[in-house]
Structure 1
């Protein structure tokens, strides 16, 4: 989880497949224990999306994301929130949550709506929970094969530690840490890729400060790609095994230029919530589970060897999901 800088997790069950696809002998209980043990937390962070991140990263990075989170909510609901003093709303919300009682978004809004009756409940709730008050979404939401609504508690209350403040000077150590951590997981990458991944616009200073520590490449279009000097860079002919990825996986959404992993004709899959299958490192099929069947639909013709590799990995996936999948259906283009 730390290596990936978190996993996108608005659908609570998707991270389990994301971890299974990356770790040998991953067991869902490992993530359950990390969530209930408060080593990992669900919170709004990169791109104003719910992510699973380590507790240490959530506390270290949240303040650096505050301005972006606020701007995105205010930009989305500019008309509904016109004339609202957001700092006053934030102070009132923190006062309500000071009793350390977990609340749903509806419960929090109900405590405040007499003072701000104008905005729709959903808008006021998203402003509070996704932007103004750093919140943790508490278990049992996010646990394996459990369905639970969102109950919120301030992040520092749940983790029993304070959120690290943003330094008063312009050194931006958190931005530099984000850059190094991102490149360790996703490099080589362009500055636009970093920005698309985290949603932060103010990283040029961090990139400038770290430039002498990085190596620079050029892609086929002449774009500058940055990487860490000691990062692994396998030979292009290195075989990449078949992998089943969850919806909104980091391997796809971690970049602005998603053509590096998806063909141009299928780029829309990256934001449509489709679960995907990598064959030789590229998105080659989609998959879903319905009616006790694992359905796989290829995006191009598959060779016999590729079909065999996909089917073998699909069998392992059905064993992991353990939810009465009785059949694997592979539809391949001819």
Structure 2
């Protein structure tokens, strides 16, 4: 029996919200709607983790989100250890703040189990993963090594085994980060690895799915339990989300799907203007939900962004939605819209800004016709 007014009561039933409201809310939480003067660690912390599978991608992703951002700002954050690079969401390379890495890596590692080791199972058959991890920890203690150097050290410890498979198994088991110069602008070549706790200067700590959910909603919500799993790569989170239901706001999207959100987070105005933005390959903006309709308008458009397994092309946004892809080629930056642009001028202007950031001074913008 009700004894008073429950101000959250409408949200228990699931207030229906439009796709445009989801879109603008998502853009705001991803720092793509307003020019918010954040520092690099502040921005990375807001996003929880920034996709860094391609070395230069996080530089472009932060350039799209931070006014006046320069290459040196991210490089400095990596060098002063306030931001670190390592295997995190979905087992792929991401940037995160050092403080967030301390709880995020153990939670992701435990939630993914042995996913990602299948390619090396035959080469390490008969060995205990803990034994490989212990040997790698001993080899890396007080040192930074390249992957080939770590592989050679483990090959000596386990003769007759494929050294590179041992190194990948060790990286899967241990919490390792990739210190500079790895991960810095334009840097190619061997990746360096070192023990995360030594590099950060603090121990890792335990966390819960609840902490993961609150941070995810602040950067990607409102969202479903399936969305949280897709974003993080952690399985079997539905029960943990359901346990938090009494503390969550509940919405429904235009298709009737139930979406959860933190009660202290507001929705954005669906009519708020959204500027043109250029984003790098693998940007989490297009990878953080099971249903990507809030940012990619159709299945046909999604197929152009993600044409195959492990391919996510660089994109640009018009009116808040992915409107096409782009690529940097010798002498030109090619902008490929999915359909004719109502007003090409803002896209061309932002592409010129991107050219300058990419340091392609002798290149031109080529807008493909559809």
**Superposed, which structure 2 residues align to 1:1-334 within 5 Å?**
1-98=44-141, 100-117=142-159, 119-129=161-171, 131-164=172-205, 166=206, 173-262=207-296, 263-268=298-303, 269-270=305-306, 271-303=310-342, 305=343, 307-333=344-370
Distance 2:161 2:268 in 1: 52
Distance 1:227 1:321 in 2: 36
Distance 2:113 2:193 in 1: 18
Cα displacement string for residues 282-332 of structure 1 (whole angstroms, at most 9, x for unaligned residues): 1111111111211111111211x2x11101111221222223242110013
Cα displacement string for residues 239-267 of structure 1 (whole angstroms, at most 9, x for unaligned residues): 22111000000110111212332220132
Of structures 1 and 2, the one with the larger relative CO (CA 8 A, separation 6+) is: 2
Contact 2:251 2:259 in 1 (8 A): yes
Structure 2: runs of 5+ lacking an equivalent:
1-43
Structure 1: runs of 5+ lacking an equivalent:
167-172
Distance 2:161 2:222 in 1: 44
Give 1:118 shift.
5.4
Give 1:17 shift.
0.7
Give 1:189 shift.
0.9
Q: Which has the higher mean CA deviation after the structures are superposed, 320-329 or 118-127?
A: 118-127
Q: Give the TM-score taking structure 2 as reference length.
A: 0.82
Give 1:132 shift.
1.1
Distance 2:335 2:91 in 1: 31
Say how many residue pairs are matched.
322
Q: Give the TM-score taking structure 1 as reference length.
A: 0.91
Give 1:178 shift.
1.0
Q: Which has the higher mean CA deviation after the structures are superposed, 71-80 or 153-162?
A: 71-80
